[in-house]
Chains A and B, each alone.
Chain A
Amino acid sequence: MMKRFLSKTLVFLLAFLMVFSAFGTAAFATGVAVLSAENTEKTEEKQEDSMLKEIEELLNSSDYADYRELYKDAPNGTDDQVIIGADYNAEKTDAKVVVDSWCGHDQALIIPEVGNVVWDFEVKTTGNYHIAITYAPIDKYDSDGDGNADMTSNSATIKRAILLDGVYPFKQSRYIEMSRVWADSLFAEGSNDRGFVLDNTGNEVKPNKAEEPEWRTVMASDSTGYVTEPFLYYMEAGSHTLSFDQVQEPCAIKEIHIYYDDSNVTYDEYMKEHEGKADNADKAPVEIIEAEIMHRASSNIIYPVYDRSSAATLPQSAYEIFLNSVGGEKWQTAGQWITWKFKVAEDGFYTFTPRFLQSFAEGMYVTRELKIDGVRPYNEAGQLRFKYKDEWQLLPLTDGVIDEATGEERALEFYLTKGEHELEMKVVLGDMAAILNDVEKGLSNINECYLQILMLTGSEPDEYRDYQFRRLMPDVLESMNEEAKKLRRISEELVAINGTKGSDSVTLDNVALLLERMSTDEDLIAANFSELKDYIGNLGTWIMTARNQPLQFDYILVSPAKSAKSEGHAKYLDKAGYQAEASFFGALAYELEQFIMSWISDYSSYGVRTAEGSEDFAKIEVWTTSGRDQSTIMRSIISDTFAKQNNIAVDLKLVAGGSLMPATLSGTGPDINMSMASSTIINYAIRSAIVPINPEGYAFEDDDTEAERKFKEERQAIFSDYHEVVDKWFHEAATVPLELYGVAYGLPETESFSMLFYRSDILLQLGLEIPETWDDVYDMLPTLQTNNLDFGYHESLAGLLIMLYQRGEQLYTRPIEGDTTGRTEGMAINLDTNESLETFKEMCELYTMYGFPYSYNFANRFRTGEMPIGVQGYTTYSQLTIFAPELRGLWGFTLLPGTIRTDENGNTFVDHTADTNVAGIVMMSDCVEVEAAWKFMKWWVSDTTQATYGQEYYALLGASGQYATANLMALRGMSWTADERAQLERQFEWLQATPEMPGGYIVGRYVEFAFLAAYNDSADPVESMLDYIDAINSELTRKRAEFDLPTLDNYESYIAENA
């Protein structure tokens, strides 16, 4: 064992040395990177710290499997220690913790999101120990009861990093998850006997979900689910420290239990243990647990849903909507659980028979873990499989062992005592865990090989050149060969598990084949190199889909085991009245009814509780162009909350992109239009098709008639809370593009801006720092480029704006001095000043001189390491987390590289400004129900709605579900880690938006022309930009004249008039 460890360390060191020596020469040759890195004094302390921390983490990040291997011979711990949460080591703890009562416990340790907590403890015997944490989530903590919460949650999963004696024992210990506890608020006023509130046509409306903090105990285990058993930490006899480092969300800790959990019971042992116990189950009726009526759930996106696909779903109706099931694609991530309460009338043996739908993971099965009253009764209950079928199934829980008597898979029995119990079902990966783990590790190794080759050959290697791979990188070839073997083995395993060779194993086989060819014949490496890149992407996608374990439940039957066994399970349940699917005629009748009802039902008022036509009933029409999935989510959020709370029916229509214009023209447009680009908003607004939504938009004028005055007063009253709304929820830059000369036309929905993404592993290998300024970027380029690596940036206007704003320049000219109305702003383009032209030139030179790639797929190149650093929209974050799971912890994002500036007082500072783009929601001029519409707009952009939408969006669409909400509170509330949130907050201090001006469309166009002239034809950037200045200005002038705004030609008289 020791020998193995030694050899591993040696290999690691050698690999490191080799890589560095290769780069060492490169760096020496250019002589820039190292020297300048030392010479630049502007590297912030903080920056260095984070980099150092990462280095340390990387060096320490051994995998759990290796860690286990290392200590597998160590004895199981015999000691049993309970650390009381409140007995923390105050000296070493830097988080602002409080000991207070929480959830009925007086001495709970309340831990904020930021900072670490340290406990001292002692174990008496050396061995492997489990760590069980008794915690409670914190939804809102208010120490002094003054109503101002000290800590609030963002509804994300609680995450902590567990350090033993100040170090991470293994990589996975950095992400220990503790789930939150959510419950539906059932039996609110006006609900039916199932506990759901009904709307005006008798539809069940989704209940609100609220956090129900309670004490729970979890074992420290793998958050991805790849390691199925709880972690074992090796501890030597003596005193230790245990620390919880910040990752995400505050929490309360009661105690931490350090012990060895040996509850390892097989089904046979369990049955033997309970043999001969009183079994009166036969006297008990079949109990039905309606799955949609949950007791608790780990996530707020697990909620009752309606199934209209099957007539046999209980309850079902073609006329009303019943929330009759739970789960589906919302219940698919490892670690998500649901609990239900149920009663049995007698002691005895019972079986559980769920009616479930697993039509999601084609040709595969999904896995769940079952617990009763918080305990897994036996090992088999930890791996319950639900096989694929395209319709609902009604099958008892089984471990797959065939019962000889019946020839069917045996139904697992559970001994239950009379009274109430709690049933828990948790998503686990089961057999897939090990496979996924292996593939992911394999993927990161293959990636490493790819990167090594890339650094030698560049992204487009020459097929006919002899690179001498075998001599230069024998270990890379060796490792490719090994990975190929591993993938072959995994593919065989998959076939064994699924019984057939499916598309899953083929993906793996393909990669294996390619690797085999490349590793055996070095001439094939260059030829197949780009193919390898594609295969790496395929492998990542494979992991992503294989991780999901979706499953939908209708109900769970608890039936006496013995009688069902003697009679045959299906027959017994059929007699009790439960079938998997309705009979042919039953289904036909249901489908017919549903078809007829689809002509009659008005889905737009789903959720509204006041009757149509009554005084407090209003109806507005809202248009969205987003997409089918998005509009489905919107519709459900609207009916679940907005319609229910305000009794305003919302007719949400999904329309095609160009339909707003003709509809507005013909007067059949909507009341509200969503997700409109800021430029379009202003275009419509200056042609008075959009209603101003701030009081300033209704300023009185001298020649107002009485009626006009009254109208304006009314509108001012309605929109009086505009500033309050905007100040509360948005960054000040977000409203800039939606305003024109002080009049606001829309509320921001989405706001996007760029940040700097980097691969810390590669930068570390190359000995590079994360660039703080553009000078740092220039300094690192030689090192990057000698290794055939690229820096990703935006070209044309997007790239120009960032650099322009960082120099304190504007895109348009400011108002002329003496203009009191401010309307002379934007009369001309500000790109003809020396500073702007210089900036434009610099932007162009990034591409012409420094060889930045003009066109690239960032996610792909970032993943392969070809582009280890780049400026991208911050939503790339969620794409990368899901798209490249093998990179977890190896990359990050931070402030944009800045420009060094001097302020009025002569102090230098770094300006990190990013340009931000906004899309908004607007009220069209034809809107009649202005008040209801304004309510809707405010509700839609509010933090809770946006956060819910963001979460649902993400849950439904996965990688593509990046919702860039403009609402700051909602954005903070999304599942960022504390570090990531801190980076975002830093960037928030540096945001600037481009105002939308009449004629503004012309700017981007000509800037691109000028850039392309410089890029393609090596034209002088300054010259080519100057060529277009006149064209831009004359278009601006023409457009402004059209709307009677002061122009370059007549502003003097305008100022004189308004003086």
Chain B
Amino acid sequence: MSQKTETVNRPVSRKDMTKWQWTWKEMKNNKTGYFLLAPFYIIFFTFTVLPVILSVFFSLTDFNMLETPNFLWFDNYIRLFLDDDIFMLAIKNTLVFASITGPGSYLLSLIMAWFINELPPKIRAIMTLIFYAPSISGNVYMVWTYIFSADSHGFLNGTLMDLGVISTPIAFLKDTSYIMPIVIIVALWTSLGTSFLTFIAGFQVVDRSLYEAAAVDGVKNRWQELWYITLPYMRPQMMFGAVMAITSSFGFGGIITALVGYPSPDYCAHTIMHHLDDYGGSRFEMGYASAIAVVLFFMMIGSNMLIRKLLGKVGK
């Protein structure tokens, strides 16, 4: 009897249990929370986590989307890194592209948001809409195809020919020497998206009293204000913005295709995303495409970790 009472009353100690037992116990205690989270987690797992795991699995097979796959072990990866020149080119392009547009769009968003934040509220709302418009209005980047059209009546060609700069039209979107700069410009143009909005929101939530306190403490100019107060205060928004910028710059395939066609002339703007599409879509080699996806996945994770490290230094 007394023993029983003892068991019931014995205080639960973290040391008495294994890690898993402890976790399970905590989960049981908080079951309402888990129950409420369940709908999202089930969907998130099925449509996001599972595909990632599946693609890791398929990357080890020769899955062709219509027939049962055979197991190949690491053949796909070996071929990818040792026997695929175009993949190497794609990695190069992706890195060039991502290292310009990623930080570029991030800084652009940040600076724009900072500037706009200084404006009176009504004008701020209008300016926000103007800058955010390119990324909400779907395929509006198609205007660039008209601007850079190879037709002698295209906007840029027509204007340049009018001005006498050129005499025959230039196929801007089909010429390897123009393609990369053009797609980078367009990418930057469309990049003022979600991260831009979060920055604007971030600037709004900074506690005004902090500025006063800082002024008392000796902050001299707006730069110092930005660096020591505003940015550290909005670190969560910056983190979010960075993740968005990285993922979008790595996954920026659609707009390139829409502008310069698929594949781009001589693969000059061929990114990993395109390579993935090429094998998954045109060649029906899902196994190989999965291997590419896995590589891309790890590249993104890696750069995310890097960004996290860098952001930790803000304000220090």
Contact = CB atoms under 8 A, between A and B. Distances in A.
Does A associate with B in a complex?
Answer: yes
B152 A853 contact: yes
A855 interface: yes
A774 interface: no
A856 B150 CA distance: 8
A1012 B151 contact: no
A1005 interface: yes
A746 B164 CA distance: 53
Contact of A1012 (B153, B154, B175, B282): B175
A460 interface: yes
Nearest to A790: B152
Sort chain B's interface into a size bin.
20 to 34
**Could you say which of A684, A1001, A1016 has the most chain B C-beta atoms within 10 Å of its C-beta?**
A1016
A553 to B, nearest CB: 41
Interface in A440-466: 459-460, 462-463
A1015 interface: yes
A1008 B262 CA distance: 11
B171 A855 contact: yes
Given A460-B152, A687-B284, A851 B168 contact: yes
Interface residues of A, number: 31
Contact of B176 (A460, A688, A857, A1016): A1016
Contacts of B65: 661, 665, 687
Contacts of A1001: 282-283
Interface in B7-63: 62
Interface in B149-207: 149-154, 158, 161-162, 164, 168-169, 171, 174-177
Contacts of A688: 66-67
B162 A684 contact: no
A855 B169 contact: yes
Given A665-B65, A856-B151, A1009-B266, A1016 B164 contact: no
Nearest to A1035: B283
Contacts of A459: 152-153
A689 interface: yes
Give the interface SS of chain B, mostly helix, strand, loop or mixed: loop
B6 to A, nearest CB: 57
B162 A1016 contact: no
B64 A462 contact: no
B93 to A, nearest CB: 15
A854 B154 CA distance: 12
B265 interface: yes
A855 B67 contact: no
Interface in B228-278: 263, 265-267
Interface in B97-150: 149-150
**Could you say which of A460, A665, A854, A1005 has the most chain B C-beta atoms within 10 Å of its C-beta?**
A460
Contacts, number: 73
B174 A1016 contact: yes
A1008 B264 CA distance: 10
Interface in A514-553: 530, 533
A284 B67 CA distance: 75
A688 B67 CA distance: 8
A785 interface: no
B169 A1005 contact: no
Contacts of A1042: 62, 64
A1016 B175 contact: yes
A701 interface: no
Contacts of A684: 66
Contact of B162 (A462, A854, A856, A1017): A462
Interface in A276-325: none
A856 B157 CA distance: 12
Given A687-B284, A854-B169, A530 B153 contact: yes
A665 B66 contact: yes
Given A855-B149, A1012-B266, A460 B66 contact: no
A1001 B263 CA distance: 11
Given A688-B67, A1009-B265, A1015 B169 contact: no
A460 B158 contact: yes
Contacts of B283: 1001, 1039
A854 B150 contact: yes
A182 to B, nearest CB: 44
Given A853-B152, A853-B169, A1005-B263, A664 B66 contact: yes
Contact of B150 (A530, A533, A855): A855
A628 B75 CA distance: 45
Nearest to B160: A460
Given A1009-B266, A1012-B174, A1015-B171, A689 B152 contact: no
Given A1009-B265, A1039-B283, A855 B151 contact: yes
B169 A1016 contact: no
A533 B158 CA distance: 13
A361 interface: no
A150 to B, nearest CB: 50
A1016 B158 CA distance: 18
Contacts of A479: none
Interface in A460-494: 460, 462-463
A1014 to B, nearest CB: 12
Contacts of A687: 64-67, 284
Nearest to B161: A460
A689 B66 CA distance: 7
A726 B132 CA distance: 56
Contacts of B267: 1009
Interface string A657-671: 000010011000000
Interface of B: 62, 64-67, 149-154, 158, 161-162, 164, 168-169, 171, 174-177, 263, 265-267, 282-284
6 contacts: A463-B162, A665-B66, A689-B66, A853-B169, A1009-B265, A1015-B171
Interface of A: 459-460, 462-463, 530, 533, 661, 664-665, 683-684, 687-689, 851, 853-857, 1001, 1005, 1008-1009, 1012-1013, 1015-1017, 1039, 1042
Closest CB pairs A-B (n = 3): A855-B150, A687-B66, A1016-B175
Given A856-B151, A1016-B171, A1042-B62, 5 more contacts: A664-B66, A687-B65, A851-B168, A855-B169, A1012-B176
